[in-house]
Amino acid sequence: MCYWGEGVGLWGPFNGVLMLLLATGVIVLGAWALSRLTRRSFRDNDAWTVARERYARGEISREEFDRIKKDLS
């Protein structure tokens, strides 16, 4: 006889499917988080940010900065 407290129980046939779904979810979540982190780091070094930093440091003149701003917009 098989009681609810013994053996595989009600979820027995679905254990493999549930484990596969859980593993897939963890992999997908990890890939999504990694892509968000890498995308953010590349976005910080875009041309607009570089131009603003160079202008703030005095490496380029106001005219050069305005030309870059016009070209990027």
pLDDT, tens digit (0-9, with 9 covering 90-100), for 2-16: 555 555 666 676 777
DSSP state of 23: H
pLDDT at 58: 94
- Beta strand extents in the chain (DSSP E only): none
According to the model, what pLDDT value does residue 16 have?
Answer: 78
Question: What does pTM read for this prediction?
Answer: 0.44
Structure confidence by residue, pLDDT tens digits, 3-61 = 555 556 666 767 778 889 999 999 999 999 988 887 755 555 688 888 999 999 999 99
In whole angstroms, what is the distance from residue 42 CA to residue 37 CA? 9
